Structure 1
């Protein structure tokens, strides 16, 4: 980036310097020409008098005047007659050209009243390159009487120009160097160092140090990038924490039934357990295997949901019938808790749009959760009602209410509000699966404490 900016600025300044050099050269020559034309009127008067043999103008006077003017404008001056012969020069070194004709085709231009301008070896008079200006001398009657020739050696003209060129190009070089320093300083401060810090933190996070963050105080795009990076890092840290907790919870949930199964079966095989107790311990091992099966099935469901491979077959189903069947299937568990289940429907049948198997899973998990946490001999209430195009299904239990700080996490995997309480039948995934199923159906589910208990309520789309 620094190289690119340097090239762009250098090219821009080089173009500007070239333009200024060309412009100043043209401006310098134009000023010389204007200066010559301005002084040529003074020379014309004395030249006309001399050409017309006016007694007031002698050859010496003419030479003196053009010598003075020549020194003033720093250019040599020649005077020629109407035939192009030189009769006066300002530079004594050029007296050899007096009486010689030094014109070619330029004489025709002068006779027509035009000025001319030439750069090069003039009329064979000089071997070196000169810049020549010529202007005609015209009397009042319009007759061509001669011309005034001004010339400068290009070397003499170039001397002051070279100094100007040096100033222009040295200024351009210093401007390029200064620009590079300024760009380097600000790019280091604004871009390079912040990006290097972001890059360093990104590498640390990729190596597992997810607590690292980028601390930049900037209101520009780099500052916005740093904030976005920190948001990403927060998400990575949260996901890493969830992953570790998930692995820890899964390991614990799987290890417990496997340890029990191994202990009971090992005891039977070793003969430690009496023969009359074998059936009892085998039944316990069977329950642990069922628990392990439920855990594996729930994990597979969660994995399918999070991978986007959880497909739903939306059909018209009777949610009331699903509730009835679910209550009947869980009758044994309900009786063990000596709970009273109250089922309330507005109508015998309530048809909704959903996946029948997944809705069975939703009702089963919510009822199972209520049975686990309802008080001994307590009350469970399941109700369905309609409001507009929506069906509202609620599952209530009069067990302990959920603390406010736990309501935000009730849908998390393996989350348990009462850390000291362990329920062997629970995998800790039931409510997470319920929420994901309802979300897949593009519906809502929520939990609230009221009536000295806990309500779980979700919506479904009603169909006729």
Structure 2
């Protein structure tokens, strides 16, 4: 998927960008070199024209023969690879370097440019010049002046085709170099893309597939300090979270299965015993009462599971209103009077005033106080002491639930808010679902408040905060 999608797109994009860049550079270099070559050619011609002028003036003064002059221009023409004509003041040719053009001897050429030459100016033209030259040439005309008098001209020209042949090799070097540069760049991009991007992404993709197939312990091992390395780290963090969630899910299913199977097994056993006549008739009521307790335990577990499911699914809605937390504490203590007496515990309720109004959901706050009080009753010593207090400090109300039972071990403090966690499994196996404190923390968190537990010399304190209204 990565190789057919991301890699091909990236390689195509980079190839197009590099190709366009090198094509533009090659075109610019070709254009620049052509102009440079022609400028150098012109400079070379102009430099050699001075020597031609010198011998021409000697010829005109009778100091040199026509053959000598013709030999000189032939030599110079071969040296600069140009054809040279000499014309008189009327534009008639009287000397040529290339014998193939001997039919032009004494013919008048470039009449239109003659006036420009008489003014002492050079000219530069390109064209086929039918009747004079049948092929396209580049012509340079240079006047021969003697003390301000026009004596004739030097005509130097090159075939455009010949100039093109000279430039062709340079063009080939430029464009072949560009093509090799494009191919080399593509190879380098391919190699480094594979090494830096594609292979790491393929490894991440492979590990992701294995995790999706259930191998949640797999991780990506990449040594890279760039964005790919950060992606690998983020992926591993995600994998850690998935592994943790998978572990929690399995533990949750295992715990729920155990918690549900235990009361169902008891209920089934007692009812089967009654139906089969194994249990004496006079004890049927006793065993039915035990089955009833197991059903109540199962009901509590189901209700807690529904609450936990609603919390984790984000469907746990709160109806915030003004609530008297002191009144909730009083009613909860009254409702637990029977359990308190069974434990022969004493309960002290301490308030700063008769009422303490806070912002919260009444039903959920009842659930919080109920779970915390129920937890204290389970762990308080036989004949021990439970204390519930509410205090007002600034804009906050602090509610504490204390029991003088055994302290919570340090390793248990780290997990006390976890689902199904029971610090003393022997004492709470039948009395607790292991979800109460987890639900309490989630409710307080939903209210954007804090809750914590402390071990003190005389017992254990659970304390949470609420926002005051009055």
TM-score by length of 1: 0.96
Cα separation, 2, equivalents of 1:325 and 1:100: 133
The 3-state SS of whatever aligns with 1:348 is coil
Cα separation, 2, equivalents of 1:347 and 1:422: 35
Cα separation, 2, equivalents of 1:113 and 1:276: 145
Cα separation, 1, equivalents of 2:174 and 2:458: 89
Cα separation, 2, equivalents of 1:306 and 1:6: 50
Q: How far has the Cα of 1:11 moved from its partner?
A: 1.8
Q: How far has the Cα of 1:306 moved from its partner?
A: 1.2
Q: How far has the Cα of 1:49 moved from its partner?
A: 4.6
Q: How far has the Cα of 1:352 moved from its partner?
A: 0.9
Cα separation, 2, equivalents of 1:110 and 1:164: 34
Alignment of 1:441-456 (within 5 A): 441-456=447-462
Cα separation, 1, equivalents of 2:275 and 2:288: 12
Cα separation, 1, equivalents of 2:108 and 2:427: 126
Match of 1:397 in 2: 403
Q: How far has the Cα of 1:383 moved from its partner?
A: 1.0
1:328 aligns with 2:334: yes
Q: How far has the Cα of 1:277 moved from its partner?
A: 1.2
1:26 aligns with 2:35: yes
Distance 1:419 1:134, change over 3 A: farther
Q: How far has the Cα of 1:420 moved from its partner?
A: 4.9
2:315 equivalent among 295, 303, 309: 309
Match of 1:380 in 2: 386
Cα separation, 1, equivalents of 2:456 and 2:72: 119
2:118 equivalent among 100, 111, 122: 111
The 3-state SS of whatever aligns with 2:433 is coil
Q: How far has the Cα of 1:396 moved from its partner?
A: 1.0
> Any conservation in 1 of the 2:420–2:435 contact (CA below 8 Å)?
yes
Cα separation, 1, equivalents of 2:296 and 2:392: 37
2:18 equivalent among 9, 22, 26: 9
Q: Which runs of 5+ in 1 are unaligned?
A: none
Cα separation, 2, equivalents of 1:370 and 1:378: 10
Deviations 1:36-63 (A, max 9, x none): 112222222333454xx41224322322
Match of 1:276 in 2: 282
Cα separation, 2, equivalents of 1:165 and 1:377: 105
Match of 1:128 in 2: 135
> Any conservation in 2 of the 1:82–1:144 contact (CA below 8 Å)?
yes
> Any conservation in 1 of the 2:388–2:400 contact (CA below 8 Å)?
yes
> Any conservation in 1 of the 2:92–2:109 contact (CA below 8 Å)?
yes
Cα separation, 2, equivalents of 1:338 and 1:88: 141
1:427 equivalent among 402, 420, 433: 433
The 3-state SS of whatever aligns with 1:208 is coil
CA RMSD across the alignment: 1.6
> Any conservation in 1 of the 2:378–2:428 contact (CA below 8 Å)?
no
Distance 1:245 1:174, change over 3 A: same
Alignment of 1:178-257 (within 5 A): 178-257=184-263
> Any conservation in 1 of the 2:223–2:229 contact (CA below 8 Å)?
yes
Distance 1:389 1:88, change over 3 A: same
Deviations 1:54-104 (A, max 9, x none): 122432232222222222212111111222111111222222211112214
Alignment of 1:131-210 (within 5 A): 131-141=138-148, 143-210=149-216
1:40 aligns with 2:49: yes
Q: Which runs of 5+ in 2 are unaligned?
A: 1-9
> Any conservation in 2 of the 1:104–1:123 contact (CA below 8 Å)?
no
Cα separation, 1, equivalents of 2:111 and 2:342: 132
> Any conservation in 2 of the 1:214–1:226 contact (CA below 8 Å)?
yes
Match of 1:461 in 2: 467
Cα separation, 1, equivalents of 2:427 and 2:106: 130
More deviation, 245-254/397-406: 397-406
Match of 2:7 in 1: none
In the alignment of these two chains, the number of paired residues is 461
Q: How far has the Cα of 1:205 moved from its partner?
A: 0.5
Cα separation, 2, equivalents of 1:450 and 1:441: 27
Distance 1:171 1:421, change over 3 A: farther
Alignment of 1:358-373 (within 5 A): 358-373=364-379
Q: How far has the Cα of 1:116 moved from its partner?
A: 2.4
The 3-state SS of whatever aligns with 1:213 is coil
More deviation, 206-215/178-187: 178-187
TM-score by length of 2: 0.94
Deviations 1:332-385 (A, max 9, x none): 111111112111112221111111111110000000011111111111111111
Cα separation, 2, equivalents of 1:112 and 1:371: 124
1:82 aligns with 2:89: yes
The 3-state SS of whatever aligns with 1:257 is helix
The 3-state SS of whatever aligns with 2:61 is coil
Distance 1:130 1:421, change over 3 A: farther
Distance 1:395 1:296, change over 3 A: same
